[in-house]
Structure 1
Amino acid sequence: MDGKLAVIGLGSIGSMALWQASRLTDSIAGFEAHSPAHGRSAAGGDTRLFRMIYRGNPAYYPILERSRELWTELEAETGQDIFVRCGGLSIGTSDGPYLRSLLETTRTTGAEHRILSREEMAERYPQHNLRADDIAVYDPNAGALRTDRAVTAAIAAAEANGATINNNTPIESITETDDGVVVTSGDNSWTFERVIVASGAWSKRLMPDYLKAHTETRRIFLSWFVARDAEQFTPERFPIFIRISGDRSMYGAPAVDGVTVKATLDGRGAPTPEADSVPRDLTKAEIAETTETVAEFFPGLIPSIVRSDAFPDLFTSDSQPLMGFLDESNRIYSATGFSGAGFKMASGYGEIAASEALGKRWFDGLDFLRPQRFQES
């Protein structure tokens, strides 16, 4: 036996699971096909949005609350500045389905928020050019997460706690035996008591057939712009945002690097055959729609993309993650399929995965995340 637990994939979720597991026990190992926060990782692109108000299942709220605590703990443990606390805006038509659904969830969760009229937005956040019937919901607990820094910090913390890191070690197969799980890479193999599969878009080849039928790899692209007046788009003045106004939608983050503002079309994930062959360049149609939307939404941004990139992620057919043991196994644990929306809760998901995989604690109320939901259907 080479250890108690192996974490396969040290990206968004795997790095956090490794960190949390290293807090719970020894004999932990992490396997990364490339290097932490490599250029093709789904964590790429500098930042991801963190927010406490959202539309959807209220059962996510406790995970968000715990994730916020854990981001702070990771900063304290590593001395890294990871969570940019700048607040957040959800913008949309006052009587439209987006804000109606968001406020419905928020009333259930009790998340702190404030509704801002179009006039209040013009006064407080003039960077946004709102339509006549647009309003906003402000989330004081939102912000931007520095993704590369978060992933590398979590791995460093795990290593400091005694975890073994195996970079440039792509895992080709995992085989459960009576005694444990055999993990294979090339001519090398290891045996662990239990394994967490957290390799994002690369997880599919390690899945049972019933899950392969309910997952697909999608390409997510990001774009950045330069401001006419950089001071107007700093984290102190420009919160993260998600905007769905009529026929246009976009999300983004302030200039955490002091130069570029992230402004990206929302909900454009498109299927792609393989995680390793995601086209990085934007199409002419993607460029045109992105620049047109920026020109309308943000007069203070120069409507010309100065940087763009694309990354793979694994989506499930119901857009909910796959968190739990596979089949009847109590040795192989899935922590993947986050469908482009996992990073804000990555620290919380990592704690759940590590605790459950090691048999330390089982989390109730997460049936909607368990892989067995697809087996039963």
Structure 2
Amino acid sequence: MDAELAVIGLGSIGSMALWQASRLTDSVVGFEAATPAHGRSAVGGDTRLFRMIYLGRPDYYPIIERSRGLWAELEAETGQDILTTTGGLSIGTANGSYINSLLEATRVTGAEYRVLSREEMAERYPQHNLRPDDCAVYDPRAGVLRTDRAVSAAVAAAQANGATVLQNTPVDSITETDQGVVVTSGDRTWTFEKVIVASGGWSRRLMPDHLKAVTETHRIVLTWFIAEDGTQFSPENFPAFSRWYEDRSMYGAPAVDGVTVKASVDGPLAGRARATPDPDSVPRELTREEIEKATEIVTEFFPGLIPTIARADAFPDLFTQDRHPLIGWLDQNSSIYCATGFSGKGFKMATGYGHIAAHEALGKQTIEGLDFVRPDRFKTR
């Protein structure tokens, strides 16, 4: 054996799995096709939103709770500022389906929140141009994660703990044998007891056919706009936000650079609706429709932003058929563990997912209550 465990892909989830595994064993190797936090991975785009109030199954809430604590541990271990608590605003029609769904989620999970009326919003957060029947659900523990910094910190912490990192080493195949799992890159091979596949949009190349059939690599588009007054949109004054109506939606983050505000279209007209067969060839240029839609929504929502896209980019991520990730063994007899398919919404919980993957792959712990993300859920379909 070359090592006890290999982690394939050191992006959003793989970097955290490597870090967590390095706390459990010094016999772990990470493979990265390029370099950690490289600009073409799903890590790209500077920031991701962290929210405690999550519109999804309540089963995610313990992972979110654990993730918040682990982000703090990563910061303490590396001295990096990764999670900035800004609070979070979810804006929509009072008594509409979006707001009611959020409030139902808080009742189930017990997440802390406060409802802000249109008048309170106008007083506290005048950056938002509100509709007459708007209100917001305020999440005091929400914030923004610095993605590049997080991944680089996790990889550095893993190396400090004794992990080996192989950069610029794309994995061509993984094969289970009687001697272990053989990992091949070019003309080189390694053998490991267990392997975690966490290579995001590139994971399909390493998957069995039944998982290839239920996954697609999608394109995620992000856009930024210049603030007329950067101080109004600073992390101290402008919480992370998500805003949904039937006809339009947008989410974003404050100006962490003091100038540009991330404000990206969500929903069916966002880039994440477009399948991209080759993650290495994701179209980075926005279509005319994407530009017009983002500009139109920003013009309505934010009078303090110049309604011209200052910066835009697109990144690949792996989406599953049911939009829940693939976390667990390929089957009960396999030595290959999946930690992929996060469908554009995994980063906030990346430390929690990394903890689950590392502990389960190394046989230290089996986490209960995760049947809805196990890969074998697709074998019966």
Tell me the TM-score normalised to structure 2 length: 0.98
CA distance in 1, matches of 2:229, 2:75: 30
1:237 aligns with 237
2:7 aligns with 7
2:278 aligns with 274
Offset, 1:336: 0.1
SS in 2 for 1:373: helix
Offset, 1:264: 0.2
**1:177 is the counterpart of 2:163:** no
1:296 aligns with 300
Offset, 1:328: 3.3
Describe how 1:209-220 pairs up with structure 2 within 5 A.
209-220=209-220
C-alpha deviations, 1:97-125, integer Å up to 9, x for none? 11111111111000000000000000000
C-alpha deviations, 1:347-368, integer Å up to 9, x for none? 0000000000000000000000
C-alpha deviations, 1:227-282, integer Å up to 9, x for none? 01111000000000000023110000000111110000013211112101100011
CA distance in 2, matches of 1:132, 1:374: 45
1:28 aligns with 28
**1:317 is the counterpart of 2:321:** yes
Residue type of the alignment partner of 2:54: Y
C-alpha deviations, 1:146-204, integer Å up to 9, x for none? 00000000000000000000000000000001121000000000000000000000000
1:64 aligns with 64
Residue type of the alignment partner of 2:116: L
**1:150 is the counterpart of 2:150:** yes
C-alpha contact (below 8 Å) 1:181/1:194 kept by paired residues: yes
CA distance in 2, matches of 1:351, 1:87: 25
Describe how 1:176-215 pairs up with structure 2 within 5 A.
176-215=176-215
C-alpha deviations, 1:297-355, integer Å up to 9, x for none? 00000000110000000000000000000033341000000000000000000000000
CA distance in 1, matches of 2:60, 2:2: 35
Offset, 1:95: 2.0
C-alpha deviations, 1:280-301, integer Å up to 9, x for none? 0111110000001000000000
**1:52 is the counterpart of 2:56:** no
Describe how 1:83-232 pairs up with structure 2 within 5 A.
83-232=83-232
Q: Which runs of 5+ in 1 are unaligned?
A: none
Residue type of the alignment partner of 1:55: L
SS in 2 for 1:304: strand
Q: CA RMSD in A?
A: 0.7
2:312 aligns with 308
Residue type of the alignment partner of 1:346: A
Residue type of the alignment partner of 2:369: G
SS in 2 for 1:203: helix
CA distance in 2, matches of 1:329, 1:87: 44
CA distance in 2, matches of 1:329, 1:142: 39
SS in 1 for 2:242: strand
Residue type of the alignment partner of 1:238: F
CA distance in 2, matches of 1:280, 1:300: 27
Identity %: 73
CA distance in 2, matches of 1:43, 1:102: 27
SS in 1 for 2:131: coil
Tell me the TM-score normalised to structure 1 length: 0.99
Residue type of the alignment partner of 2:192: F
Runs of 4+ in 1 over 2 A off after TM superposition: 327-330
C-alpha contact (below 8 Å) 1:215/1:317 kept by paired residues: yes
Q: Which runs of 5+ in 2 are unaligned?
A: none
CA distance in 1, matches of 2:146, 2:96: 31
Offset, 1:26: 1.4
User: Which of 323, 327, 332 lines up with 2:331 in the alignment?
Assistant: 327
SS in 2 for 1:29: strand
1:338 aligns with 342
2:37 aligns with 37
CA distance in 2, matches of 1:330, 1:246: 44
CA distance in 2, matches of 1:74, 1:87: 20
C-alpha contact (below 8 Å) 2:54/2:61 kept by paired residues: no
C-alpha contact (below 8 Å) 1:55/1:106 kept by paired residues: no
